[in-house]
Amino acid sequence: MSGADILVHALIRHGVRVVFAYPGGASMPIHQALTRVQDRLRTILPRHEQGGGFMAHGYSRTTGQASVCVSTSGPGATNFVTCIADAKMDSIPVIFITGQVSTTVLGNDAFQETPMVEICRGITKHHYLLTRTEDITRVVKEAFHIATTGRPGPVLIDICKDVQIRQIVPDWDPPMDLPGYRPMRRARREELEPVIAAIRACKKPFIYAGGGVTHSNAAAELKTFAELIGAPVGLTVHGLGNFPADHYLCLHMLGMHGTVYSNYAINEADLLLALGVRFDDRVTGKLSEFAKHGKIVHIDIDKSEIHKNKFAHVPVHGDLKLALTDLIAMLQEERNADLIAGGRYPDWWRQIDYWRETEPLKFVEPSNGAIIPQYAIRRLWELLRDRHQLDHTIITTGVGQHQMWAAQFFHFNKPRKWITSGGLGTMGFGLPSALGAKVAFPDHLVIDIDGDGSFLMNIQELATAYAEKIPIKVLLLNNQHLGMVVQWEDRFFASNRAHTYLGAGEDHPPYPDFVTIAEGFGIPARSISAKADLDAALLEMIDSPGSFVLNVQVPHQEHVLPMIPSGMTVKDMIKA
């Protein structure tokens, strides 16, 4: 078999059912091989390699499985770089396969040659340059193992063109060659005993839960653990959905744009149970002031994250699901019966409830009948809730104000229903990731809540939605500005506008005309600007049989609040 056929069949043997692939000279043999397995492996053609990369993100983030995307060499491969960096930051298992020039001209600056391994060395979990056809099956086997075990992450396979063409008899089950890679670890009981002791000693516990809960599939264990000890739960932007938003113990999102009550609680806690988190600066603000009043327990599968940003008094290196399972069993032992008695922290909960009552998330609705983004998102959530559709709805977003408002006002009770770019904060993420999510879950309603700036960055993927018959919805909150940058200009630069206006002039109609653009791609669309029209338009979008773009004209003066300015503390929180 040719190397390209071996590669494709290796993917099938690893359970791959769809690839997102854009062809070119150095990857043509792979695409020819893909045509020979169309009954077993679906190939989706994006309209830009970055679009294909983020479709793979949407597939992986919703399923937890490794996804696959393919590009050619040179500019095709470098168009993956942002997707790879995003996957590394958010711990997403994606296999990026890039064509490379033939081994005979490798290193000679041949046409469309780029040193992808060198370019991506710092943004991959692992990477390969394939120069031997005999290595394909081993490398694919290792790539899936590395991408999906321990802390997940992206793996790059850069495969030379002559390696794809050469024919050999393949070994389908070669031994892996990964000396020293031991990704799974179960924390020992003696490592968990100090956690139990810390719970027994505390009076104001707080659970700080992040994306690691998602990656270890530990949402059920987190809920049981929190209920047993009766502790409040605050979630990072990637933790949303891992603890039910409608649960009494849930204090929703924490950090820069988190709830006031969640940030107050984490600031006052005497025990911080940090589960699957990395103490990101968007959560901590000024590190020296963050959670300085309490003892910190940090449980994570990635040992390098422990003590990296914040010293952990009780460090626990291990798989989070297994650690919580063991902690739950220990709490249920007779000697710890006192730890699961109800009402252990009455004073703490009185304080939290006071904060929740006096400092809720809120916004002021304009008197002129305009639609503000917060209201539009809340109404979308309310309509889906009232129609009992939330359990089968996936929300993706671009990056900016709309992303934070979606995190605040659209509530999630289950994991993997909220798909967003967190660590890298990549604009243009929402639309293609929605396509990938819809391919993974064709029976779900998939809605991209987007801003006009982000939407424009990968708007060409509307063509993929139409041509590949992938019906997604876009709620476009169009304020004609780069809203989050405008907010910072207003707050810290005396409202001096520095190239953040995306329109065509004050006297010009809203620009561009997204309805005409969408219809040009074959996608039905509607534009509204009056609050009275919102509910009917949202229902039209939700119930449309195919893809639909709802362009909602919103004012640009709204700010995402509360806000803890970068590098500052809870005491510096801006509430109005």
Question: Does the residue 264 lie in any domain?
Answer: yes
Residue 136, both tokens = 């394909």
Of 165, 181, 216, the last residue of a domain is 165
Q: What is the DSSP letter of 245?
A: T
In this prediction, residue 117 carries a pLDDT of 98
CA distance 564 to 383: 31
**pLDDT tens readout for residues 6-58:** 999 999 999 999 999 999 999 999 999 999 999 999 999 999 999 999 999 99
In this prediction, residue 44 carries a pLDDT of 98
In the set 116, 404, 484, 573, the catalytic residue is 484
Question: Does the residue 438 lie in any domain?
Answer: yes
> In Å, how far are 295, 447, 456, 509, 553 from 481, measured between CA atoms?
43, 22, 12, 14, 11
**What mean pLDDT value characterizes the chain?**
97
Residue 258, both tokens = 């988190």
Q: What is the DSSP string of 295-358?
A: EEEEEES-GGGTTTSS--SEEEES-HHHHHHHHHHHHTSGGGGGGGSS-S-HHHHHHHHHHHHH
**Residues 418 and 510 grouped into a single domain:** yes
H or E stretch at 447: strand 445-451
Q: In terms of Cα–Cα distance, which of 221, 416, 230 is closest to 322?
A: 221
Q: Which residues pair with 217 in a beta bridge?
A: none
Domain of 210, in residue numbers? 189-358
**Residues 75 and 12 grouped into a single domain:** yes
In the set 20, 49, 455, 548, the catalytic residue is 49
CATH of the domain at 346: 3.40.50.1220
Task: Please indicate whether residue 404 is annotated as part of the active site.
Answer: no
pLDDT at 341 over 90: no
**pLDDT tens readout for residues 265-282:** 999 999 999 999 999 999
**Residues 408 and 324 grouped into a single domain:** no
**Residues 333 and 209 grouped into a single domain:** yes
**Residues 346 and 475 grouped into a single domain:** no
Of 300, 330, 358, the last residue of a domain is 358
**Residues 234 and 328 grouped into a single domain:** yes
**pLDDT tens readout for residues 216-248:** 999 999 999 999 999 999 999 999 999 999 999
Q: In terms of Cα–Cα distance, which of 74, 65, 7, 68 is closest to 34?
A: 7
Q: What is the DSSP letter of 501?
A: B
What value does the mean pLDDT take over residues 293-302?
96
Question: Does the residue 572 lie in any domain?
Answer: no
Residue 549, both tokens = 């773009």
In the set 32, 112, 351, 460, the catalytic residue is 112
**Residues 384 and 349 grouped into a single domain:** no
CA distance 224 to 220: 6
Count other C-beta atoms under 10 Å from residue 356's C-beta: 18
Classify residue 151 as exposed, middle or buried by CB count within 10 Å of its CB (0-12, 13-18, 19+): buried
CATH of the domain at 481: 3.40.50.970
249: amino acid identity, one letter: L
At 59, is the pLDDT very low, low, confident or very high (cuts 50, 70, 90)? very high
Residue 263, both tokens = 């940030």
Task: Please indicate whether residue 112 is annotated as part of the active site.
Answer: yes
Task: Please indicate whether residue 427 is annotated as part of the active site.
Answer: no
pLDDT at 343 over 90: no
**Residues 354 and 377 grouped into a single domain:** no
459 within 8 A of 431, measured Cβ to Cβ? yes
In this prediction, residue 82 carries a pLDDT of 98
**pLDDT tens readout for residues 158-185:** 999 999 999 999 999 999 999 999 999 9
Question: Does the residue 272 lie in any domain?
Answer: yes
What value does the mean pLDDT take over residues 202-212?
98
Residue 98, both tokens = 């890039």
At 293, is the pLDDT very low, low, confident or very high (cuts 50, 70, 90)? confident
Q: What is the DSSP letter of 509?
A: P
Question: Does the residue 217 lie in any domain?
Answer: yes
Question: Does the residue 32 lie in any domain?
Answer: yes
Q: In terms of Cα–Cα distance, which of 446, 442, 465, 444 is closest to 517?
A: 465
CA distance 318 to 330: 16
Of 328, 358, 388, the last residue of a domain is 358
Q: What is the DSSP letter of 21?
A: E
Give the SS3 label for residue 111. coil
Task: Please indicate whether residue 161 is annotated as part of the active site.
Answer: yes
Q: In terms of Cα–Cα distance, which of 561, 560, 563, 541 is closest to 552?
A: 541
Which is it for the CA torsion 320, 283, 80, 102, positive or negative? negative
Question: Does the residue 446 lie in any domain?
Answer: yes
Angle at 112 between CA 109 and CA 118, to 5 degrees: 65
**pLDDT tens readout for residues 420-479:** 999 999 999 999 999 999 999 999 999 999 999 999 999 999 999 999 999 999 999 999
Q: Which residues pair with 128 in a beta bridge?
A: 157
In this prediction, residue 301 carries a pLDDT of 98
**Would you give the distance in Å from CA 562 to the centre of its chain?**
22
CA distance 559 to 561: 6
CA distance 321 to 311: 22
In this prediction, residue 285 carries a pLDDT of 95
In this prediction, residue 456 carries a pLDDT of 98
CA distance 208 to 168: 52
237 within 8 A of 254, measured Cβ to Cβ? no
**Residues 136 and 35 grouped into a single domain:** yes
**Residues 397 and 535 grouped into a single domain:** yes
CA distance 430 to 398: 4
In this prediction, residue 359 carries a pLDDT of 97
In this prediction, residue 92 carries a pLDDT of 98
Is the overall model pTM greater than 0.85, yes or no? yes
CA distance 159 to 166: 12
Q: How many domains does the chain have?
A: 3
pLDDT at 328 over 90: yes
CA distance 523 to 464: 11
**Residues 222 and 312 grouped into a single domain:** yes
Residue 330, both tokens = 């220990």
What value does the mean pLDDT take over residues 547-558?
98
Question: Does the residue 46 lie in any domain?
Answer: yes
Give the SS3 label for residue 61. helix
Count other C-beta atoms under 10 Å from residue 558's C-beta: 21
**Residues 342 and 420 grouped into a single domain:** no
